Structure 1
Amino acid sequence: MALQIFATDPDARPKPKPELDFSNDHTFSLRAGMVVNKKPISLPAWRVVTGDPAVADAVAQLLGGSAEEFDPTKEMNLHVLTDSSSVEIVLAGSNAIEDKLILWGRVGPVHECDGVNFLSPPERKGEPCGCPKLMTERKELARQGIGPAPSINISFRLAHDYELGKGKLISSAWSLAEVIHEVKDALDQVDGEALCRLSLEHVSFVNKAGEKVDFRKPVIEVLGSYNDAIAEGR
């Protein structure tokens, strides 16, 4: 017999965790992995997700691969498994990157901070968040599901198809979180929009248990001014 604890009070039923919204003014998203047989896997090249067939076809021509429908129940129902592990993008300054730490609860974030102070709720913004000082401790709490993990949102355009519209990358990689301040500092040194290279870098090592670990981490390299690159014909 199933539990009937919400039968008399349906409004008390927990709401599902909201899906990340790639709509608004974003026409596609860039992803480093996908779920296969209910298991997340890392991909050797970028995966592009969109709901627009024209965008999917344009991405396939630019980065390789072909457009496929992967989930007809979703608005963003098309993806392209590209052949490219590196892509040149355009960032409109450091404001194009939003970086923070989030611990999700049943109905939304229960802890949102910058690593030192709370970012929400409004009444607690600016107060010490209580996160550990050491990175190893932060990662362990996040691994256990009791501490916040990185949430890095990057809004960009493709350098070689600028008019295709805005793309979005959301990353939870600690490796990117540890250096994202350097990327933002480099962007602040560029006058106007910046030409950048976004790559998936292969990492392989043997852990303490003697097991081989393979994964790919996102890496952002700021190349310089996008306007200068256009003027030089790059």
Structure 2
Amino acid sequence: MALSSWLVTTTNKEVAATVSGLYGGRLRRTDRQQEVFELMLDRDAIAVNIDGPGSVVNRMVLEQEEGRGPIHVCDGSNLLEPMDSAGDLCGCPKSVFDRKAAARSGHGPKPDARLSFRLAAAPGVGMFFLASSSWEFSDSLSAAVLDMERGASGAGMEICLQRKVVTTRSGMAVSYVHPILSVAEPDFVAPVHLQLAA
């Protein structure tokens, strides 16, 4: 289920306090044994820096039942796994509509899109990680990788939550939220001065 705002988890209390100071949100400890902290942020968009195309994993995966691992991993055209089949045609439909239909029916892969990034406002607090099965997020990562391969910088990007309302054939309105990676507005990535909480 898609969340309506960003949820950040960390095992570092100082990182949690820094993120909370930057973007608001309530900090809570979810596991007292392992010191896991959770933050539901008050922001829809966060300025980020990406180190390059290597910070993106964007593939299509069909999982076996009961979480026994993938049975199909591809890039939409060619197989990526297993290694002895890497590069072979994957057999996925050409059109996005048919790919989505196959994924919904459980017969085709869905996106496995992952992004590693640093907060533009506090790059020193470390690397963050976002994973999503959203088709829109996968498309936005593909566009960003293409831009970076053409020489664009991975700095000055933003991840934001987009909300959509779709009306089904039966007339029911369904709303959903998905992440998007895009180029940030210049004012949005202005440096922020902060102090780490002890």
- TM class by smaller structure: 0.7 to 0.9
Q: Which has the higher contact order (CA 8 A, sep 6+)?
A: 2
**1:146 paired to 2:107:** yes
Q: Which residue in 1 is equivalent to 2:51?
A: 92
Distance between the aligned counterparts of 2:152 and 2:135, measured in 1? 28
1:174-193 to 2 correspondence within 5 Å?
174-190=135-151, 193=154
Distance between the aligned counterparts of 1:76 and 1:222, measured in 2? 34
SS at match of 1:95: helix
1:126-205 to 2 correspondence within 5 Å?
126-190=87-151, 193-205=154-166
C-alpha deviations, 1:24-49, integer Å up to 9, x for none?
xxxxxxxxxxxxxxxx3x33321101
Deviation of residue 191 (structure 1)?
A: 5.5
Q: Is the 8 A contact 1:154 1:168 kept in 2?
A: yes
Deviation of residue 92 (structure 1)?
A: 1.0
Q: Which residue in 1 is equivalent to 2:18?
A: 58
Distance between the aligned counterparts of 2:69 and 2:114, measured in 1? 17
From 85, 88, 92, the equivalent of 1:124 is 85
Q: Is the 8 A contact 1:173 1:217 kept in 2?
A: yes
C-alpha deviations, 1:52-79, integer Å up to 9, x for none?
2221111111110121123557x58321
Percent identity of equivalent pairs: 29
Structure 1 residues 222 and 187: CA distance shift in structure 2, 3 A? farther
Q: Which residue in 1 is equivalent to 2:196?
A: none
Which runs of 5 or more structure 1 residues have no equivalent in the other structure? 1-39
Deviation of residue 178 (structure 1)?
A: 3.0
Structure 1 residues 215 and 71: CA distance shift in structure 2, 3 A? farther
Q: Is the 8 A contact 1:46 1:84 kept in 2?
A: yes
Q: Which has the larger radius of gyration?
A: 1
SS at match of 1:70: strand
Cα RMSD of the aligned pairs, angstroms, is 2.3
Deviation of residue 218 (structure 1)?
A: 1.2
Distance between the aligned counterparts of 2:136 and 2:144, measured in 1? 13
Q: Is the 8 A contact 1:186 1:222 kept in 2?
A: no
The number of aligned residues is: 187
Q: Which residue in 2 is equivalent to 1:4?
A: none
Distance between the aligned counterparts of 1:188 and 1:121, measured in 2? 26
**1:67 paired to 2:27:** yes
* Structure with more helix by fraction: 2
Deviation of residue 189 (structure 1)?
A: 4.3
Deviation of residue 192 (structure 1)?
A: 5.0
AA paired with 1:99? N
1:20-39 to 2 correspondence within 5 Å?
none
Give TM-score scaled by structure 2 length: 0.85
AA paired with 1:222? V
